[in-house]
Amino acid sequence: MINIGVLGSTGSVGRQTLEIARKYKDKIKVKLLGASKLSDNLINQIKEFNPDYVYVELGESQIIGSTKIIAGEENLDFLKDVDLDLFIIAIAGVKGIKPTYILLESGKKIATANKEAIICLGELEKENYKNLIPIDSEHSAIFQIIDRRPLDDVRRIVLTASGGPFLNLPIEDFEKVTIQQALNHPRWSMGKKISVDSATLLNKGFEVIEAHYLFGLPYEKIDVVVHPESIIHGMVEYIDGSVISNLSYPDMKIPISYAIFYPERKQLNNNFLDFTKIKNLTFLPPDNEKFPLLNFAIECGKIGGMYPTVLTVADEVAVNLFLQGKIKFLDIYGIIKEVVENFKVYNVKNVQQLLDFIKEVEDFTVSVAKRYGNT
């Protein structure tokens, strides 16, 4: 029996994790769930999986049946005392930083889809990333290829990008992009924030930084190629010229299942690749004029230090304002660029300083955003 915890259980990755737990209920026991509040969705999950612990960000600590509900970020330290085989972090955004930090510091086994935490904790925690299993599909692909072998003979890794919903949109039409269009990802069904990040291609920029911290590779050895079919998720090129790639139809359950059962594999569905139907796999360079945030992110990554954190936080605030209809799609780039260029960056030594730093970047971004759109 594999005992797991799922933080962010009502989100897209969380729900798909529970689908796998449901399919393999003889092998997986869900002992902990976590979400922002005790919503109907979470209550249904509690009824179905009967976990020992439930964490909610908002609400009151209480006991329901045999389930202990722990509320409030200030009480997250309880995670240190929960012994599970694997914690799955499926939380979206910088909210994932504190639980990720606590779990890493207390030596728990984690699998994470939360790239914001990997990036923002990169400078403090990268030494602890060695045992972490990535769920982000591209990083899972690379992990499935290299496993935990030394990277001495890797010439470069290549992360693929679908190109998002605006791959073929003329640049002059970006001005009028609506929320609905930005959320309409052609290949992957995901949460709202990451869907908008995929539309700006900043998601791929984040993934380059994420790969840098996860695999300890220099930026010069991480490339991005646009691959609209989203069949190849990642490639590793070795010094002898050989390239090993990871292919499947896009399905987050594959990286989630791999993280849970690693190093074993389990059958998920019958959606196996039919190469004669796919026929063509195409590759394009990213269009840096239409999607300036990709290179902007890589530059932030190369500067290093706290710059990737400033970028991550500015984006989260800007994307939320866009999703609330308060700024335009193109303002996302304007705001992020202004914040990164003007925020007075300083170094942090521990997670509390990091969380304070993040709050300052959030406030600064809100003040910058006031000059945009109709906020």
Shortest distance (Å) from residue 45 CB to Mg ion? 24
Q: Provide the mask over 260-299, with x wherever binding to Mg ion is found by CB under 5 A and - wherever it is not.
A: ----------------------------------------
Non-local CB neighbours of 224 within 8 Å, separated by 6+ positions: 158, 159, 160, 161, 204, 208, 286, 294
The one-character DSSP state at 270 is S
Shortest distance (Å) from residue 117 CB to Mg ion? 14
The interface region with Mg ion, picked from 28-36, 44-52, 130-138, 345-353 by CB under 5 A, is 130-138
What does the DSSP assignment read for 76-142? GGGGGG---SEEEE---SGGGHHHHHHHHHTT--EEE--HHHHHHTHHHHGGGGGG-EE-SHHHHHH
The interface region with Mg ion, picked from 86-94, 134-142, 225-233, 330-338 by CB under 5 A, is 134-142
Is the CB of 125 or the CB of 136 nearer to Mg ion?
Answer: 136
Q: Provide the mask over 90-129, with x wherever binding to Mg ion is found by CB under 5 A and - wherever it is not.
A: ----------------------------------------
- Buried b / exposed e along 17-29 (16+ C-beta atoms within 10 A): bbebbebbeeebb
State how far the Cα of 45 lies from the Cα of 7, in Å rounded to an integer. Answer: 12
Shortest distance (Å) from residue 114 CB to Mg ion? 12
Is the CB of 116 or the CB of 138 nearer to Mg ion?
Answer: 138
Q: Provide the mask over 137-156, with x wherever binding to Mg ion is found by CB under 5 A and - wherever it is not.
A: xx------------------
Shortest distance (Å) from residue 228 CB to Mg ion? 15
Shortest distance (Å) from residue 203 CB to Mg ion? 6
State how far the Cα of 200 lies from the Cα of 185, in Å rounded to an integer. Answer: 11
State how far the Cα of 153 lies from the Cα of 131, in Å rounded to an integer. Answer: 21
Ramachandran sector of residue 72 (left: φ over 0; alpha: ψ -120 to 50; beta: rest):
left
Is the CB of 99 or the CB of 191 nearer to Mg ion?
Answer: 191
If you count them, how many residues does the chain have?
A: 375
Residue with tokens 């050989």, as numbered in its chain: 242
Non-local CB neighbours of 352 within 8 Å, separated by 6+ positions: none
Is the CB of 138 or the CB of 229 nearer to Mg ion?
Answer: 138
| Count of residues interacting with Mg ion (CB under 5 A) | 3
Does residue 136 belong to the site contacting Mg ion (CB under 5 A)?
yes
Is the CB of 137 or the CB of 246 nearer to Mg ion?
Answer: 137
Does residue 315 belong to the site contacting Mg ion (CB under 5 A)?
no
Shortest distance (Å) from residue 96 CB to Mg ion? 15
Binding residues for Mg ion (CB under 5 A): 136-138
